[in-house]
Amino acid sequence: MFKALDPLLHNQLRLSIMSILISVESAEFSFLLEKTGATRGNLSVQINKLKEAGYITVKKSFRDNYPLTTCKIATTGIDAFEDYVDALQDYLNTT
């Protein structure tokens, strides 16, 4: 009856990140920071978990001499996100 909810996506911050990334071409660390309201530490950790899972790709570069972390959703991530949204319907269905 209830499909399993991908534990990686079933977390507020990671879901926020994915939700943002699914609707933009790419997003910088500071953009995600502002949009999610997370702390830098937490954001860093969760970005890495999503990256380890292959849900997003992370590019590290420099801009104006400062580090710049850019995130982009991967195909695997899009699929996982869609599956998650799909699975959730069973739970929310207030008929």
CB of 54 to its own copies, least distance (A): 20
Query: With CB cut-offs between 5 and 8 Å by kind, which of DNA, its own copies, none does residue 71 bind?
Result: none
Check: CB of residue 92 under 8 Å from CB of residue 5. Answer: no
- Angle ∠(81,74,33) on CA atoms, nearest 5: 80
Other Cβ atoms within 10 Å of 46 Cβ, number: 22
| Selected binder of its own copies within 8, 21, 22, 76 (CB under 8 A) | 22
Residue 46's closest CA among 30, 38, 80?
38
> From residue 36 to residue 75, what is the string marking binding to its own copies with x (rule CB under 8 A)?
xx--------------------------------------
Q: Rule CB under 7 A: which residues touch DNA? A: 7, 10-14, 28-30, 38-49, 60, 64-69
